[in-house]
Structures are given as structure tokens and as C-alpha cells.
Structure 1
Amino acid sequence: MNVSATDLVGELKLLRKGRGISVVQLEQRVGPAMRAAFGIADADEVAEIRKKLTEALINLAASLPDDLRTAALAAFGLHEQARFPFYQDRVKWVAQAIQRDERTARRRIDEGIARIAELAVSVQAGESEPAYPSRSWHTEELRVALSLDQEVPEVFELRRVVADADDIDELDLALTLTNSRNRREKVGEDDLEVDVFYGGSLSRRMMESSERFGLMLRLPKPLRRKARHDIALRFRAKLSHPHYVCVPRHPVDLFDLHVKFPQSMSGGIVKLENLFQDDARDPSARGEALTPDASGEVHVQFRKLAPGFAYGVRWEPADVS
């Protein structure tokens, strides 16, 4: 059955009434959209229905912004501090928790439920399944903005990860720096600055090779299977980069890259896709030619990235003879 997000929203709004997930006659609240979206069979007993709904709603809500997650879980009676027998009391609790009035609290609840329905429909349709299997986690979206038009190149990285197992509490990330002018020059720890804007804290940092930095990001709390989590990082590197590529350790569904070049940029720019990492720095490696727009920017996208292969852009610095 193809599930409509609109139908699912309607059924979820019915579920939130009264005691919410704890209602005695729960099976009467579960319509065809919820059964299809959350894998509820006709033969399932009430306890099994409640278990499936609880796990699905908590996992889907995990990727929402804090206020929407709090509002949605409280509405269903799933927030441990808001298990009141009446929906109106849970609305009041949400208003206090997000420090807004009740009207705003109801709007946040509706927004949270709508977002949960959208996520459930995408999962049910198979849109969020990674192309390559993972036993730990994969990246659903990786959006990167690279600025080369300043003294120290700077990267902003927004990443949404999906847990493919329970109790994922750390993400193993890595960044490789290469020097286009002198490959023999050793890369040191001071050559890379890392800031975590949100989504976790840097728990470990080590040199994995002469050029590659290993980064361990500790999450605020362990992720359950299928839970989504957003992180934002900023990198500053002191070396000149002949290329910027993503070489995923874990599967990546979407890699969206914006690169802003300096006005002095005169060399060629090529798109690199599905290359061995060492080939990314090889000027003879072919790729689609790219032309910066009037702002000096190029924008490329890649989908279903294979772990271990490189995707991104390579350029020729203006001062290369």
C-alpha cells in the first residue's frame, strides 16, 4: 500500500488524543496508513502494536529539531515528563517546555507530526535506504560549502546521518590535506582547525597517515536504529588544496558541494567522480570541465557514493606554470 503523508497525519492526530500511545483500545486508533507505514499486521496484539508504534515514533522524531521532537513526543504521551492522561495537559507542558504560549505549542505539535509523517512515508517508499549496506551508520545528506577566496580556505559541512544499528554514540570521520606545491612537505596537526557548531563534541583527533586526520565525534546521546541526527562542522586548513573530494568511509546518499574560487582563479576546474583517492590529485585524471558562475562559484552533486572512492572537484591554482 502506498501511504499518503496527508492520511498519515490525520491518523497520527487521532492517536494523540486522550492518553495517546497509552490508550487502552489502541487498535481502534490505528488506521490503514499507520499499519502500512509502521509495519503493523492485522494479527498483531495490542502490546505488539504499541511496541511498534513507540519504536517508530521515537526513531523518526530523533532527527527533528529539539522543539519539534519534544512537542511531538509529548503529544503522543511518549515523553517521560509528559505522560498525562489528557491531551490538553500535555499541550500545557509543551508550552512550558519550549517557553511559548499554548497556541504556539499546538503549532509545534502539528509541525512535528507533519514532519514525522513525511519521514515515515519516505522510509516506507524506500527512499532513505542506502545503496551500500552498512552495519553502523550512513550519511543521508552531506552539504559542503568550500571558500577558497580567503587567506585560509574554509569549509562548512552540514551532515545528516542515519543509524543502521542501535547504540551509535560516535561517528568516525576523517579529512585528508594535500599540498599541491610540495607533496613532500609534512602535514602537521596545527595545519587543520576543526570547530563543531552543533550535533556533538570532538572526542578524539589523531593523525592516521602523513596527510589524513582521523576525527571522532561524540554524539549527545546514542542513536537507535533508523534514527537521524544532524551535525555541523567547520574546517580551516592552512595548505593550498588542488582538490576537494569526499572519500566516504560509510555510505553517502547525497553529496552536495559548493566551491567559491578567488577572482584570480584562471586554471581549469574538473568534476571528479568515482575515482581512486590517489587519482584525485593526478592532473591526467579526466573529469567533466566546470566553469565558475559570475560569483566565482561551482556547484556539483553526487548520489549513492561508494565507500572508498573519491567525489568532488579538482582545480589548477592560478600561479601554476
Structure 2
Amino acid sequence: MDFSAADVVGELKVLRKGRGIFTTPLADRVGPALRATCGILEDDDSVEIRRKLADRLRPLVESLPDDLKIALRAAFALDERARKPFYQERVHWAAITLDRDDRTVRRRIDEGIEQVAAMAVAAGPPDLRPRYPSRSWHTEELRVTLALDQPVAEAFEFRRVVADADEIAELDLALTLTAAGESGVSVRESDLVVDVFHGGVLAGRAMESSDRVGLALRLPEPLRRGERHDIGLRFRANMREPHYICVPRHPCDLFDLHVRFGDRVPDRIVRLEKAFQNDTRSPRGAVLETDDAGEVHVRFRHLAPGFAYGIRWLPAGAG
């Protein structure tokens, strides 16, 4: 069934009420036009519906002028600072942020919704086919928070995997600890401390190469094709090189990375995307700025297996 931009506008105006995309139950608030536009399936639960709505709406909202962007982030509770229980409270938050009155913000929201709906319909429904097919399993989401302002660098990794075959009982994971080229010190398996917080049991670990530690995570029970499973891990290691990268062995749909430098903000931070792993020491990419908390946030989609994604930095005073 085809839907018009007007159909999407009507449903977006319903969605913005209450808590926006954080309304529960969310399925009752999402109509057929939004379901088709965002690729929402009949058996998707509230968490999955919210993820698909956010993944579809956020890039469209981010393409708008700044005033419309702020207004719509608030309207749908896409901005963490505006996740208030009532729509009117979020409108008022946007009004204060934009130094406008509430009535003006409501007009901005209506204008932004019309533009977002038109772009969404013009782009068509999302292609749900995987860009990099897998015969075993792939990562739907990989969210990492890395704290570098600790005595030892510490990363929390939350990963959602999807089985692409039956009887997936074990995940072959790995982490690269690149040895500094001039140090002459080799990476050892013991350099990496791994704690499993949920989702399985660490069944084995071994050096796969001079700088890559392989991990085998045994699942609580085998996955059937199409089943999803969440895991939570913590890694601690001394950083040998000033970068943090993901080099996926299996396809990865989304890699979301927060890095906290704290007070030790580097002189330069560069975004790495689909880089050859050997080229990460002299990267080309967008220069990133930390926020007031000394943090950077990057997001990557459709990661190609074997390539590097993440950031590299020049430590303060190193240049």
C-alpha cells in the first residue's frame, strides 16, 4: 500500500504527543504509514519499534536547519535533554533553547514535520536486506563507551547479534590491541582483561595475530535463524596506540562509540571510516571536537568486515 506525505504528517503529529518515541505501549501510537516508512514489522516489540523510529527520523531531522532541528528533537524526545513526560514541556524546553515563544516553536515543529515526511516518502521504505550478507551471524547494534580518564582504559560493550543460520551456539569475537610501531613490545593475551556482564560464558581466548586477541563466547542456548541476542562485556587494557577501532569479522549494521578523554583532551582527533587497518597510523578523515565533558561521539552504519572504524587522536603535547 502506498502512503502520501500527508499520511506520514498525520501520524507524526500523533507520535509527538505524551512522551514521544518513549510512549508505552508504543505500538498503539505508530500507524501504517510510519510502519511502512520505518520498516517496522508486525512482531517488533516496543524496543525495536523505538529503535527503528529513531534510526529513521534522526538523520532526517539532522538534515534540517538548526531551529527546525532543535524543535523536532524536542517534539519526538530525540534529544536526551528534552525527554520530558509531556509534549508541552518539550515545546517549552525548545522555546527556551531557541529564545522564542512556545507558539513559534509549535509552528517550527509543524513545518519540520512536513519536511521530514516529504523526505521520508521521497526516499521510500528502508531496504531491510543486509548490505553484507552473512552465513552465520551478524551484529545489529554495537554500542561502546570507552573511558580514557581512568588509570587503565576501560570499555563497556553492548552488542545485539542476529543469527543468520540455525544452531548458532558460540560467537567468535576479537579485540585488536595494536602495538606501537616503535616500542618493540609485543601484545600479549594477558594484556586484555575481559568480564562478561550478561549474555554468555567466555569459553576461550587466544592470540589470533600479533595484536588481535580472539574470544569465544558460548551462548546460554543456541540461536535459531532470525533470533536476536544481547551481550554485555567489559574490557580493560593499556592502550598501546592512540586509537580505538572496530574491525568487524562479521557484518555490523551499527557501531555507536562514545569516548571520554576527561581533562586530557588530545590536540587532534580524527574519525576513521572504512580504513585499512595498516593505514590507521596516518589517517584521513573528519576532525572531531570534544564537548564540554571532554567526550566525542561517533556513529557508523553498515560496517564492512575487515575494515577499521573508530577514531584516532594525537595526544596533547605530542605534536
Distance (Å, rounded) in 1 between the aligned partners of 2:255 and 2:266: 26
Matched, 1:133 2:133: yes
Measured at CA, do residues 162 and 289 of structure 1 come closer, stay the same or move farther in structure 2, by a change above 3 Å? same
What is the number of equivalent residue pairs in this alignment? 212
Match of 2:287 among 270, 286, 289: 289
- SS of the aligned residue for 2:190 comes to helix
C-alpha contact (below 8 Å) 2:178/2:241 kept by paired residues: yes
- Name the aligned partner's letter for residue 313 of structure 1: I
Aligned-pair CA distance for 1:186: 0.9
Amino acid at match of 1:242: P
Structure 2 match to 1:307:
305
**Where in structure 1 are there 5+ consecutive unaligned residues?**
10-36, 39-56, 65-124
Length-normalised TM-score, structure 1: 0.60
Is the Cα–Cα contact under 8 Å of residues 191 and 239 in structure 1 kept in the other structure?
Answer: no
Percent identical: 59
Q: Residue 137 of structure 1: CA displacement? A: 0.5
For 2:314 and 2:152, how far apart are their aligned partners in 1? Answer: 17
Q: Deviations over 1:245-292 (max 9, x none)?
A: 111111111110000013133421000101111111x23x21100010
Alpha carbons 2:144, 2:256 under 8 Å: kept: yes
Question: Larger Rg: 1 or 2?
Answer: 1
Question: Does the CA contact (< 8 Å) of 2:266 and 2:313 recur in 1?
Answer: no
Report the residue type matching 2:262 in the other structure. P
Q: Distance in 1 between matches of 2:163 and 2:224?
A: 6
SS at match of 1:170: strand
Say whether the 8 Å CA contact 1:130–1:252 is kept in structure 2. no
| Amino acid in the other structure paired with 1:309 | F
Q: Deviation digits for residues 140-186 of structure 1, max 9, x if unmatched?
A: 10000011111100010000000001100111111010244744211
- What is the deviation of 1:127? 5.9
Q: How far apart, CA to CA, are the structure 2 residues paired with 1:255 and 1:153?
A: 19
Take 1:189 and 1:127, find their aligned partners in 2: how far apart are those partners? 40
Q: Which residue of 1 aligns with 2:159?
A: 159
TM-score of the aligned structures, taking structure 2 as reference length: 0.61
Kindly indicate whether the alpha-carbon contact (under 8 Å) linking 2:179 and 2:211 is maintained by their aligned counterparts in 1. Answer: no
Cα distance change of structure 1 residues 2 and 269 upon mapping to structure 2, 3 Å threshold: same
Does residue 175 of the first structure (1) align with residue 199 of the second (2)?
no
Aligned to 2:265: 265
SS at match of 1:190: helix
Structure 2: give runs of 5+ residues left out of the alignment: 4-10, 12-26, 32-40, 49-124
2:216 aligned partner = 216
> In the alignment, residue 156 of structure 1 is paired with which amino acid?
F
1:7 Cα deviation after fit: 10
**Deviation of 1:318 (Å):** 2.4
Paired AA for residue 171 in structure 1: L
Partner SS for 1:270: strand
Q: Secondary structure at the match of 1:278?
A: helix
Q: Distance in 2 between matches of 1:2 and 1:195?
A: 49
C-alpha spacing 1:206/1:2, structure 2 compared with 1 (3 Å): farther
Deviations 1:209-243 (A, max 9, x none): 11110001100000000000000000000234311
How far off its partner does 1:319 sit? Answer: 4.8
Residue 247, structure 1, aligned to residue 247, structure 2: yes
The structure-2 alpha-carbon separation of the partners of 1:317 and 1:131, relative to structure 1 and needing over 3 Å to count, comes to: same
Q: Which structure 2 residues correspond to residues 35-46 of structure 1 after superposition, within 5 A?
A: none
What root-mean-square deviation, in Å, do the aligned CA atoms of Structure 1 and Structure 2 show?
2.8
